[in-house]
Structure 1
Amino acid sequence: MDDLFDTTDLDPARRSLLPGAGFFLPDDVEDDLESERIESALERADAAVVADPDADGLACVALIREAYDDVLDVPEPDADDERDPDADDPIDVPEPGPHDVVLVPASPHDVEDAIGRVAGAAESGIDLFVCDLAPDRYEYVADELEAAVNVASSVRWYDHHQWDDEVATAVREAGAELVVGDSDEECSADVVARSLAHDFDDRHVDLVAVTRDHDLWIREDPRSDDLADYAYWTDPGEYVEVVREYGADLPEWVTDFLAEKRVEKNRLIDFAIDRAEFHDVGPYTVGVTYGRCSQNEVAEGLREAGADAAVVVKPAGSASIRGTETFQRCHEVAGRVNGGGHPKAAGCKPDIYDDMLDYATHWTTRGAVAKRVILRAFEDVVETADGSTDESP
């Protein structure tokens, strides 16, 4: 049965149509494993960081650990160590430690669960940080945040996404120190770096700059692609320790690993671009595709093919929405389909999956329902901009 979920040996074209093995792990099993790890790690921790495990969120963790002097040496792999560049993402990889500052990975869809885990497992007096995450509504996090404030000596929330004013006010009134950067100018790592009372080394200042280059889709520094890919392909705990020690200039053993991984990455990008369809939505052309791929490079390929905006629907059910200079309302589109983000980069997971049959349909139709729902959201946003009636999908 395990072989059914392991797509490592599949033909790359077929593999690109399916989610990774971690998708098939039952939520309760995954939650139990994660809870056990977190509870054990928090027993003697001075601080916890609930963060999005992408390059920006993990850079925040690296900076906080540096500020707390929570330093672990990063061993260079032995020459005979084997790292399979084609392996699926790991399901249960414990973070190296022990750490004084514990990483608690979370997505925008389960930030309340992560905060609740810290509140339930941490010793009284811990410092809690929440980084690179923004709740769509305060009620989603209200109970867990209240519990965390009662346990922690401080709760600091650092982010750069688009925040609703009422949500921001409620988070502050609950007792959290909330700092939200300008999403057009700063990434979350910028916010952390300027908010902490710490004099960071040049390599960490450089790390923040390169992270910003990737996260804001500036793409002037070639190292930003390395950071993004490494954060995506490796364990979050490894990424944090490597960039904390080396900054944005990754060691040779990491760049060798990335070079191997990129062979398949480029194939998956090509598959996704070849599958793309283009739709006219008002004055805009929207490129829509499906697959397990690197959404930023695919979006760039669709832009070069004439798209004003790109949608990449993933096999796991989520989707990435990327804009251009001509379309900067991605966060509004995502907000209509259970998501959010920035004007030129957003994400969502349409609420259309009730059971495994819906996912089976999703895989066999290459995301047809998700594509249709998201295109409808584009239409509504464009109609609203033209002065028409605002109707939710």
Structure 2
Amino acid sequence: MYDELIESGDLPLARKSVLPGTGFFLPDTLEEDLEAQQTEAALEGAEVAVIADPDADGLACVALLREAYDDIQNVPEPDADEADADDDDDASDDEPLEEFEPTPHSVALIPASPHDVEDALARVAEYGDEGIDIFVCDLAPDRYEYVEDELDAALETADSIAWYDHHQWGDDVAQAVRDAGVDLVVGDSDEECSADVVYRSLEYDFNLMYEELAAVTRDHDLWLREDPRSDDLADYAYWTDPAEYVEVVREYGVDLPDWVQEYIAERRVEKEALIEQAVGRAELREIGGYTVGITYGRCSQNEVAEAMREQGADASVIVKPAGSASIRGTDEFDRCHEVAGKVNGGGHPKAAGCKPDIYDDMLDYANHWTTRGAVTKRVILDAFRDVVAEADAAEDTAEDADADA
């Protein structure tokens, strides 16, 4: 396949909005080989491994742990002298550190998603030194059997494993993880982000900069939106290399330097355009007394969900070109994790994610792109109907019990 067919960077915005990024088209085996190489390199000589979701919350956990373990690395400023020597006005010290290459850390970062935390555990078990300490942050398994074997292998290698999170955990899953020998701390998902959990769980006297980092991270992760700096952190974490993000927030805190701010502003031009594309496709559906907004597109899901809320949605679904979907709730609807749980996902009462198991081959994906996620939308809306019906039935049962009492 020609590279230009899967390279989405130069696509017109309308087409870019409906197709997944380049990484989607790369085979899993290639990605797995690369992840194995990166993990082996990161763990060389490391005393601690942090398996974390590479969003702002997960990376804030890494920053806190590196501080607690006194793992410090100075961030180089972009080279202003080189920029001045370049005749191209766009090549300036306002650009991010495109070739940021951190030296080895004693606290190694191992990025992982909720769908592959077990793979990350297996790689740490394989490449980590005997007696390494392992932390898992901002990740939750839907079922214990998904991580059981890999967790056992990691426990054989590690001196200790601590797991810090704030997602919704099933009681049986949490108990099984604790019974395996893991120090699991799960915060209230309505009150804390994972960085809060790490901040209060570590026996370390953090300075105020890290308290502020946890607070501003929480502002975005819980979608409070009371501090405008939280959007900057979230966007920067999404767009830049995870290693760069961790070291930049450790050096500058939540007040990002000018060169980062200008980089974010430049990237937000396209971000806003993609948001407009997705909002323009939004539809509102009535399900059991709730208004559910649903749309499709490559976009920033929180802003799109907020736009649908302003249009009257009690809950919102953003279906992505890669086949996954984000589900966002409000005070009126707080069962997003239950909806996601019916379609191969999970999360919080007001914020969840899923990827329905409906893609058997590339023809299914082709249909997904050309129909703007029609099948995925139908499956998730059916899950909404089931959850609402079950909640109504439970309420009726409770009322009958009260009447009989």
Tell me the TM-score normalised to structure 2 length.
Answer: 0.92
Is residue 2:334 matched to residue 1:333? no
Structure 1 gaps, min length 5: none
Separation in 1 of the partners of 2:145 and 2:91? Answer: 46
> Contact 1:37/1:94 (CA < 8 Å) preserved in 2?
no
Give CA-to-partner distance per residue, 1:315-370, whole Å, 9 cap, x none.
11111000111111111101101111111111111111111111111111111111
Separation in 1 of the partners of 2:76 and 2:263? Answer: 15
Is residue 2:107 matched to residue 1:101? yes
How far does residue 43 in structure 1 lie from its aligned partner after superposition?
2.0
Q: What SS does the aligned partner of 2:44 have? A: helix
Aligned-partner residue type, residue 41 of structure 2: S
Is residue 2:118 matched to residue 1:112? yes
Q: What SS does the aligned partner of 1:155 have? A: strand
Task: Specify the alignment match of 2:243 in structure 1.
Answer: 237
How far does residue 78 in structure 1 lie from its aligned partner after superposition?
2.6
> Contact 2:100/2:244 (CA < 8 Å) preserved in 1?
no
Among 243, 262, 266, which residue is 2:268 paired with? 262
Structure 1 residues 341, 166: closer, same or farther in 2, change over 3 A?
A: same
> Contact 1:272/1:298 (CA < 8 Å) preserved in 2?
yes
Give CA-to-partner distance per residue, 1:171-192, whole Å, 9 cap, x none.
1111110001111111000000
> Contact 2:44/2:104 (CA < 8 Å) preserved in 1?
no
How far does residue 95 in structure 1 lie from its aligned partner after superposition?
5.7
Task: Specify the alignment match of 2:20 in structure 1.
Answer: 19
Q: What SS does the aligned partner of 1:386 have? A: helix
Aligned-partner residue type, residue 43 of structure 2: L
Separation in 2 of the partners of 1:348 and 1:246? Answer: 34
Separation in 2 of the partners of 1:75 and 1:32? Answer: 30
Structure 1 residues 94, 374: closer, same or farther in 2, change over 3 A?
A: farther
Task: Specify the alignment match of 1:277 in structure 2.
Answer: 283
Task: Specify the alignment match of 2:75 in structure 1.
Answer: 74
Aligned residues: 384
Is residue 2:368 matched to residue 1:362? yes
Q: What SS does the aligned partner of 2:303 have? A: helix
Aligned-partner residue type, residue 357 of structure 1: L
Is residue 2:328 matched to residue 1:318? no
Aligned-partner residue type, residue 211 of structure 1: T
Aligned-partner residue type, residue 270 of structure 2: E
Is residue 2:228 matched to residue 1:222? yes
Give CA-to-partner distance per residue, 1:50-69, whole Å, 9 cap, x none.
11111111110111111111
How far does residue 236 in structure 1 lie from its aligned partner after superposition?
1.0
Aligned-partner residue type, residue 196 of structure 2: D
Among 281, 284, 287, which residue is 2:293 paired with? 287
Aligned-partner residue type, residue 51 of structure 2: V
Task: Specify the alignment match of 1:48 in structure 2.
Answer: 49
Structure 1 residues 29, 125: closer, same or farther in 2, change over 3 A?
A: same
Among 128, 147, 153, which residue is 2:134 paired with? 128
Separation in 1 of the partners of 2:322 and 2:261? Answer: 28
Give CA-to-partner distance per residue, 1:28-73, whole Å, 9 cap, x none.
0111011011112212001001111111111101111111111111
Aligned-partner residue type, residue 263 of structure 1: V
Aligned-partner residue type, residue 61 of structure 1: V
Task: Specify the alignment match of 2:38 in structure 1.
Answer: 37
Between structure 1 and structure 2, the one with the greater Rg is 2
Separation in 2 of the partners of 1:233 and 1:69? Answer: 27
How far does residue 82 in structure 1 lie from its aligned partner after superposition?
4.3
Task: Specify the alignment match of 2:303 in structure 1.
Answer: 297
Structure 1 residues 379, 388: closer, same or farther in 2, change over 3 A?
A: farther
> Contact 1:319/1:348 (CA < 8 Å) preserved in 2?
yes
Is residue 2:201 matched to residue 1:195? yes
CA RMSD of superposed structures (Å): 1.8
Tell me the TM-score normalised to structure 1 length.
Answer: 0.95
Q: What SS does the aligned partner of 1:387 have? A: helix
Separation in 1 of the partners of 2:268 and 2:15? Answer: 18
How far does residue 94 in structure 1 lie from its aligned partner after superposition?
8.2
Task: Specify the alignment match of 2:255 in structure 1.
Answer: 249
Structure 1 residues 6, 304: closer, same or farther in 2, change over 3 A?
A: same
How far does residue 219 in structure 1 lie from its aligned partner after superposition?
0.8
Q: What SS does the aligned partner of 2:353 have? A: strand
> Contact 1:277/1:288 (CA < 8 Å) preserved in 2?
yes
Give CA-to-partner distance per residue, 1:130-184, whole Å, 9 cap, x none.
0001111111101111111111111000001111111111111111100011111
Q: What SS does the aligned partner of 2:292 have? A: strand
Separation in 2 of the partners of 1:200 and 1:2? Answer: 47
Separation in 2 of the partners of 1:107 and 1:125? Answer: 25
How far does residue 108 in structure 1 lie from its aligned partner after superposition?
0.9
Identity over aligned residues, as a percent?
A: 71
Give CA-to-partner distance per residue, 1:256-299, whole Å, 9 cap, x none.
00000010110000000000111100111111000010000000
Q: What SS does the aligned partner of 1:161 have? A: coil
Separation in 2 of the partners of 1:82 and 1:349? Answer: 39
Structure 2 gaps, min length 5: 84-89, 396-405
Structure 1 residues 369, 94: closer, same or farther in 2, change over 3 A?
A: farther
